[in-house]
Amino acid sequence: MREQLQNLVDRLAAYNAATVVMDWDTSTGSAPEEAGEYTAKLLGILAGEAFALSTCDETVSLLKDCMAEPSDDEIEQAVVKRLWEDYEKTHAIPQREYQEFHELTSKGMRVWEKAKGTKDFSLFAPTLGKLIEKAKKIKGYQPKKDGLTLYDLMLDEYEKGFTTAELDRFFDGLKKELMPLVKAISEKQDEVRTDFLNRPCDVESQKAFNRLLAEYLGFDLKRGVIAESEHPFTTSLHNHDVRITSHYDENMVASAIFSTIHETGHALFEQNNSDEITMTPLSGGSCAVHESQSRMFENMIGRSEAFWEPLYPKFKEVFKGQFDDVSMEEFVRGINAAAPSLIRTESDELTYCFHIMIRYELEKMMFDGEVSVDELPKLWNQKYQEYLGVEQEDDGEGILQDVHWSGAMFGYFPSYALGNAIAAQLYHAMDKNVDVEKALRSGDLSPIRAYLREHIHQYGTMRETKKLLKDATGEEFNPDYYIQYLKAKYSKLYRL
């Protein structure tokens, strides 16, 4: 990369890393309780610095020069394109406004935590209202695009190229094909035994097993760490510092396991970013593709019998006799059980997309001004009853369950559902090249990692999702693989 551009990229990477570490420090309980407000201010200032750098005259003129005389280097081209797009999206936002927005999101998280702790949405509602208004205002500075709503622009922020028109079609398809399956399964709850998954498993043993699991999947612990937080997440400074968290509950052994597999899926993406793109704006991965990796590992790989064949004896050993009466077949059936429920992160593979659909429908309404903040819990409850037939007891297990809105990440949820669909499409393509089941049964996942590294991980966000998917699978985005996968799996499991 030309020197001036490298210098800009380095400086942006440093701001990003500072923010990542300060967020990590807060989220994993390293920071003291009362530091939050002060530290939020400092984070807001850092965000303002990065913003000022991305939009200053010198940067604009550098990017224009780079575009006038483009490099042959694919990476440099992609970096320039990304930085220019970011500039176009943000330069009209007054710096103070941008900084205030970041302070608000930082504060939002603390307010949400308190509200969640007391299960009281009314504590969070005023802040949520402000977050929506501020997010709309910030988006309003962006150049309008023909036929796109504010919420389309929000979606575009997280997954380029997917609009409400496309998502409406996608979710309508899921609704049509999967709602009958959800209903049929609700009526056959006795088919699959899951009681043993609530047997007490001491947290220290859980930690040991989860660490083993992450390493088994290929998470390099010399270039990564595992910690604890309320809500599991993955973050990274660069491909040599990738961090995941889990959350342990003595009576929910599977919860931490599938969180760890999920986050390790993300972490493998980050650790396998090429050295050329790490610490550049191309590092990481787009939201949906990132989620395709975490969900592929969590569900398509992590809940398969082939995966557990080499691991189940170790699992039984770690939990000293607690599962001696449970055969591997029963265990695998148990971890795949489906039942409509309230909590997205604990929900099964089949009903998961309905949780996303509800958020998506609410967000659209919030952005179109069709619903006020105060009406949200009621609407939330109505939709959970309609799609899943379940009712919340309090806001904690309802509208407060997820952290995302507290950080103004409106438009993010749909990428979770897209990620599942992309995972199924990628798995299908991978399986034509790598005998996935054989690799899993042998206990050596390296062919799987090599495939994903070659086709996905190394590129970070260098290629847009639709192109990346086409390059890897030879096909356009096609949610049918996802629908067919779920139908086949659950019809068999519940003998429908």
Task: Summarize as ranges the residues that interact with a copy of itself (CB under 8 A).
Answer: 10-11, 13-14, 17-18, 21-22, 24-25, 28, 30-35, 37-39, 41-43, 45-46, 49, 221-225, 227, 237-238, 240-243, 279
Nearer to a copy of itself, 58 or 133 (CB): 58
C-beta of 18 vs 179, nearer to a copy of itself: 18
Q: Are 399 and 359 in contact (CB under 8 A)?
A: no
To which residue do tokens 């005259």 refer? 57
Cβ nearer to a copy of itself, comparing 53 with 318: 53
Q: How far is the CB of 19 from a copy of itself (least distance, A)?
A: 8
Closest distance of CB 239 from a copy of itself, Å = 8
| Smallest distance, a copy of itself to C-beta of residue 104, A | 17
Which of 9/332 has CB closer to a copy of itself? Answer: 9
End-to-end C-alpha distance for the chain, whole angstroms? 57
- Maximum distance among all Cα pairs of the chain, rounded to whole angstroms: 69
User: DSSP class of residue 237?
Assistant: E
CA distances from 208 to 197, 213, 314, 315 (A): 18, 9, 11, 10
The pair of three-digit structure tokens given for residue 415, joined into one six-digit string: 């990428």
Q: Which is nearer to a copy of itself, 38 or 143 (CB)?
A: 38
Minimum distance, C-beta of residue 6 to a copy of itself, in the bound complex (Å): 11
Please, are residues 478 and 425 in contact by the beta-carbon 8 Å criterion?
A: yes
Q: How far apart are CA 299 and CA 276, in angstroms?
A: 31
C-beta of 203 vs 225, nearer to a copy of itself: 225
Rounded-to-integer distance, Cα 83 and Cα 90, Å: 10
**What is the closest distance, in whole angstroms, from the C-beta atom of residue 28 to a copy of itself in the complex?**
7
Helices 36-55 and 3-27 sit at what angle, rounded to 10 degrees?
Answer: 160
Task: Name every residue whose Cβ is closer than 8 Å to that of residue 273 and which is 6 or more positions away in sequence.
Answer: 239, 283, 284, 285, 457, 458, 460
Nearest CB to a copy of itself, comparing residues 22 and 429:
22
343: phi then psi, degrees, rounded to nearest 5: -105, 120
* Residue placing its CB nearer to a copy of itself in the complex, 237 or 335: 237
The distance of closest approach from Cβ of residue 38 to a copy of itself in the complex, given in angstroms and rounded to an integer, is 5
Tokens of 9: 């990229």
Q: How far is the CB of 351 from a copy of itself (least distance, A)?
A: 36
Give the span between the Cα atoms of 342 and 355, in whole angstroms: 8
Give the separation between CA 278 and CA 236, rounded to whole angstroms: 10
Q: Which of 124, 108, 117 is nearest to 396 (CA)?
A: 117
User: Are the CB atoms for 214 and 226 separated by under 8 Å?
Assistant: yes
Residue 263 falls in the annotated catalytic set? yes
Give me the catalytic one of 76, 157, 263, 270.
263
Q: Alpha helices, DSSP H only, in 145-202? A: 150-158, 164-186
Asked if residues 406 and 109 have their Cβ atoms less than 8 Å apart, the reply is yes
* Side-chain-side CA neighbours of residue 309 (13 Å): 14
Report the b/e string of 456-473 with b at 16+ CB within 10 A. bbbbbbbbbbeebbeebb
Q: Are 214 and 225 in contact (CB under 8 A)?
A: no
Minimum CB–partner distance for residue 271 and a copy of itself (Å)? 10
Q: Of 218 and 414, which CB lies nearer to a copy of itself in the complex structure?
A: 218
CA dist 46 → 36, 49, 50, 98 (Å): 15, 5, 6, 11
CB of 366 to a copy of itself, least distance (A): 32
Alpha-carbon distances, residue 449 vs 278, 457, 470, 486 (angstroms): 18, 9, 19, 24
Rounded distance between C-alpha atoms, residue 8 and residue 156, angstroms = 25
Residues in the chain: 496
**So which residues are the catalytic ones?**
263
